[in-house]
Structure 1
Amino acid sequence: MEEYFIYDNRLGIPIPDVSKEWDDFTKQVQQDILFRWERIRGSIPDRIAELENIINYKQAELSNESDFPRSCALNSEIAELASIINELWLWYRANQGISSKMHQ
């Protein structure tokens, strides 16, 4: 099933990488892809929690930082982590419909 997913370094999870129409896959391959995606999707909240912990650490560091360039760097890092969290939630929510196909 790994051939239908590509690891996204930024997000820290594999994401679907399907190059043909869904109906062109056999029912078994569809089920295998959906099962793999459901396992990945289930790990997204844990990944988000990891990133939120890093943000909390960086925010605490920022509150004690007096060096302006370092403060700017921390703000940028926090913004990037927040962007990753947002994208992970999009993947999690946008693909709920896919998960429902597993149960049909």
Structure 2
Amino acid sequence: MSYSFIFDERLGIETPYLDQEWEEYSSDERCAILLRWEEIRGTIPERIKQIELVIIAKQHQLDQEDNFQVSCELNSAIAERASTINDLHLWFRVNQELEVRMHG
């Protein structure tokens, strides 16, 4: 098997690792990859909601914070989580691209 799914700590999901070009996989392998990815992909909206709750909590902390250094740290943490959400949105769209390539 020349593909795997590796857990990404930052994203909180497994992401595909493909050793070869998509077209080089057999039809069965592509189906297996897409099936596993669809299972993982289905968890992305809930993962985004979890991160959004953390952002909201940090924004509430920021509203109450008077210490400049702590405010900077909170802003940085919020920005990092927002970046994670953006990356999750990108991964969420990967399935559509793979299906088009598979059926195209």
Taking structure 1 as the reference length, the TM-score comes to: 0.87
Counterpart CA distance in 1 for 2:102 and 2:21 is: 17
2:73 counterpart of 1:67: no
Structure 2 counterpart of 1:61, which letter? Q
1:85 Cα deviation from its structure 2 partner: 0.3
Whether the aligned pair in 2 keeps the contact of 1:35 and 1:102 (CA below 8 Å) is no
1:39 equivalent in structure 2: 39
Gap runs ≥5 in structure 1: none
Percent identity (aligned) = 49
1:88 equivalent in structure 2: 88
Whether the aligned pair in 1 keeps the contact of 2:6 and 2:17 (CA below 8 Å) is yes
Whether the aligned pair in 2 keeps the contact of 1:8 and 1:15 (CA below 8 Å) is yes
1:9 equivalent in structure 2: 9
Structure 2 counterpart of 1:13, which letter? I
CA deviations over 1:47-73 (Å, ceiling 9, x no partner): 100000000000001101111111110
Change (3 A) 1:39 1:99: farther
1:23 Cα deviation from its structure 2 partner: 2.9
1:24 Cα deviation from its structure 2 partner: 2.6
> What count of residue pairs does the alignment treat as equivalent?
103
RMSD after superposition: 2.1
CA deviations over 1:27-59 (Å, ceiling 9, x no partner): 222111110000111111111000000000000
Change (3 A) 1:102 1:54: farther
Gap runs ≥5 in structure 2: none
